[in-house]
Amino acid sequence: MTVTIHELRRGTPLSAQDIDEFLASNDFPLVERDGVTFVYRGGADEVFLRMWIHGLPAKQPLERRGDSDLWTLFVDLPPNSRSEYKFEVAVNGESHWIVDPLNPHVATDPYGANSVLRSYGYERPSWTLPDPEARQGALASVDVPSRLFDSVRRTTVYVPARFRRLRRYPLLIVHDGEDFLRYADLQVVLDNLIHRLEIPPMIVALTQAGDRLVEYAGDDRHAGFLATELLPELQKEFPLLDEPASRGLMGASFGAVASLHATWRHPEIFGRLMLASGSFAFSDIGRHKRGPVFDPVAEFVNEFRGTPGRPTERLFLCCGIYESLIYENRSLVPLLHEHGMQVRYEEVRDGHNWENWRDRLQAGLTWLFPGPLWMVYE
């Protein structure tokens, strides 16, 4: 009979056959309502779980089951959580970080791949998956000469299906846009949300910075590039609606900082902001503790917190509660409210990663750019 998770937890001795059957008859990690059991099989001196959940130890040891080569670790995790992790496997004094060989779900980012943990109740939203009935938009590219950066910036542009020059479109400029395409399925999401009439057909400019940790960290050159170089170029190339409510900026992490900063430096141009897991480091007193790369960010955010004004009309903020940035994001919400901006804020049980930002796109985009869902019946 196949060994159960409960027997595993009790430490029942396991034969190799027990383990084979156990692995063959389960999906991993093992998800239950109250938590998750991580399982690794292989010869090792030590195995650790490396999971990025703020508040939990970054490194937790898996326990070897008796004399076998099976290692397990139970972690309390609330329902509807999603997180990413790796195993650190130590063999003969050498450690390697690997994705979970038993887990088929992998998320990629510019640094590589992680295993994906989906706790009880989490389901990948259907609108993030390709829909054969959804018409596909196209990608074009625009070369934008930049005096501010003394270079030509090539920008990829998403053009919606059934694009017509006679029509005028809202514009969304996305920071780290090509990463959003690659790691957060942005094109699929746009196709689906437009197909479902949840957002209007829109032009989406996908920018990519030269050095994002500099340009996105409250850099006036970048703000100027968006407002005075990129936007006019896009207005020349595409039929765009000419009102702040139809122009938006989006970004995650440092990209969120860049979005807020550009809007603050050039107010009332971009009436819609989507800020995901913004790296809004600040210090009420003394210095922030996030390292020198955050210095210009903290300088900007401190200044913004002092005199926010009302640079935009409507913002969607979101942050994972497993992120260390949750405090900074929460702190921003009342400030924005107080200064007359329409704010919608969403917290989820997720971390600082692309799939979290992908899963927030529907709530954010439909709040910022509501589609003709209610009126169109094709």
Partner 1 sequence: MHEGPSEHQAAGNEQAPVHARHVNFLCKRLCSPIQTAAAGGSSGKLPLQTLVLPLLARSIRVGAIIRRSRATAPKLCERDRVQPAQKDITFLGPQSPHPTVQNVIGAGDAPVCLISAGWREREGELEDELEQLGEVRQIVDLRLYRRIDEIFASDPELFAAHRQRQTLLKEAQRLYRLRLAHALKAARELFESDDGELLAAERRAAMAALRALDRHHLRRIRRIHEAFDQTWRPAERPAILPHAAELAAVIERSSAVLIAGGHVGVLLSRMRLLGLPRLLAGRRIVAWSAGAMALGERVVLFHDHPPQGEGDPEVLDTGFALVRGVVPLPHAGARLRLDDARRVALFARRFSPSLCVPLEQGVLLRWRDGVLIESQSATRLVHRGTVQGLAA
Candidates 42, 110, 121, 370; binder of partner 1 (CB under 8 A) is: 370
Q: Which amino acid is at 127?
A: W
- Nearer to partner 1 by Cβ, of 64 and 168: the residue is 168
- The distance of closest approach from Cβ of residue 166 to partner 1 in the complex, given in angstroms and rounded to an integer, is 5
CA dist 289 and 323 (Å) reads: 15
Q: How far apart are the first and last CA of the chain?
A: 55
| Residues of this chain, 180-209, that bind partner 1 according to CB under 8 A | 198
Q: Tell me, rounded to whole angstroms, the distance of Cα 118 from its chain centroid.
A: 16
Comparing CB distances to partner 1, the nearer of 324 and 366 is 366
Does 372 engage in binding with partner 1 (CB under 8 A)?
A: yes
In the complex with partner 1, the residue whose CB is nearer, 26 or 366, is 366
Contact pattern from residue 94 through residue 133 relative to partner 1, giving x for each residue in contact according to CB under 8 A and a dash for the rest: ---------------------------------------x
Cα Rg for the chain, rounded, in angstroms? 23
Q: Does 162 bind partner 1 (CB under 8 A)?
A: yes
Is residue 52 within 8 Å of 97, Cβ to Cβ? no
Q: Which residue has the tokens 């053009």?
A: 159
> CB–CB of 282/301 below 8 Å?
yes
For residue 195, the minimal CB distance to partner 1 (Å) is: 11
Q: How far is the CB of 170 from partner 1 (least distance, A)?
A: 15
DSSP state string for 270-333: --EEEEES------SSS--SS-GGGHHHHHHHHHHHH------SEEEEEEETTSTTHHHHHHHH
Closer of 65 and 314 to partner 1 (Cβ): 314
Closest CB to partner 1 among residues 85, 367: 367
- For the window 340-369, what string marks contact with partner 1 as x by the rule CB under 8 A? ----------------------xx--xx--
Residue 166 binds partner 1, judged by CB under 8 A: yes
The H or E element containing residue 186 is helix 186-195
Nearer to partner 1, 152 or 166 (CB): 166
Determine if 374 is a binding residue for partner 1 (CB under 8 A): yes
The tokens describing 261, both together, are 């900063």
Indicate left, alpha or beta for 116 from its phi (over 0: left) and psi (-120 to 50: alpha): beta
Q: Which two tokens stand for residue 328?
A: 């900074």
303-342 positions binding partner 1, by CB under 8 A: none
The count of chain residues that interact with partner 1, using the rule CB under 8 A, is 18
How far apart CA 29 and CA 52 sit, in angstroms, is 16
The residues that touch partner 1, with contacts defined as CB under 8 A, are 133, 162, 164, 166-167, 198, 362-363, 366-367, 370, 372-378
